[in-house]
Amino acid sequence: MSRKLKPIAHPRVARVSIHKKIEHILEENHRLLQRFSDKMVEDFIHRIVRARAIFFSAQGRSGFILRCFCMRLMHLGYRVYFCGETITPAIEPGDMLIVLSGSGETSSTLEAVVAAKRHKAFTFGVVGNIESRIASAVDRYIHLPGTTKLRRDFEPHSLQMAGSLFEQAVFIFLEAIIMTLHQERLEECNSFSPRHAVIE
């Protein structure tokens, strides 16, 4: 004889409209993305355009986000490599390393910065913590003061999980950089890149 199970009650939080949550996430990102310097963004774009090759290093969710940026730059014709991949060559003078870290303390990312500087490459960080070792080590950085896994007292208030606001804001910011580079190359915004993968 089978036993009839009682239905599980939905938690109270699930009863709140998902649209309200989306609105809140978008509003948090909108507030955060108003805070960076246009001058620093222009410098970031200028250095991407001038670099001989561009290398990338980040871990965890930040790594996935930075891989998206790396892929789009490849679609636009830039010479790009993600650190740790088997086909990544040695970094050299004239190259650029871009790193991403909310905490600014990710050990392997910091090691990538140190190695790049040792080989005379330019280093640029997008960080959530300007009092971090990575922020101190890179040649330039852009500060997006979102929430990080450190949950420091002076971080902005967010209803999201630790790190989510920083990661979302960075993704939007980097997509805006791609849009800028795309439009500056006089390509139609909806054009299909000939560099898109054809074997998947």
The pLDDT > 70 percentage for the chain reads 82
In this prediction the pTM is 0.85
CATH fold of 37-184: Rossmann fold (3.40.50)
**Distance between CA atoms of residues 8 and 142, nearest Å:** 46
Read off the pLDDT of residues 109-153 as tens digits, 9 standing for 90 and up: 999 999 999 999 999 999 999 999 999 999 999 998 866 666 666
The residue assigned the tokens 């991407």 is: 48
Cα dihedral value 63, 113, 81, 142, nearest 10: 60
| Burial (CB count within 10 angstroms: exposed 0-12, middle 13-18, buried 19+), residue 166 | buried
Contacts of 62 (CB under 8 A, 6+ apart): 100, 101, 102, 106, 167, 170
**Which residues have a catalytic role annotated?**
167
Residue environment code for 50-67, b if the CB has 16+ CB neighbours within 10 A, otherwise e: ebebbbbbbbebbbebbe
Indicate the DSSP class of residue 15.
G
Read off the pLDDT of residues 68-97 as tens digits, 9 standing for 90 and up: 999 999 999 999 999 999 999 999 999 999
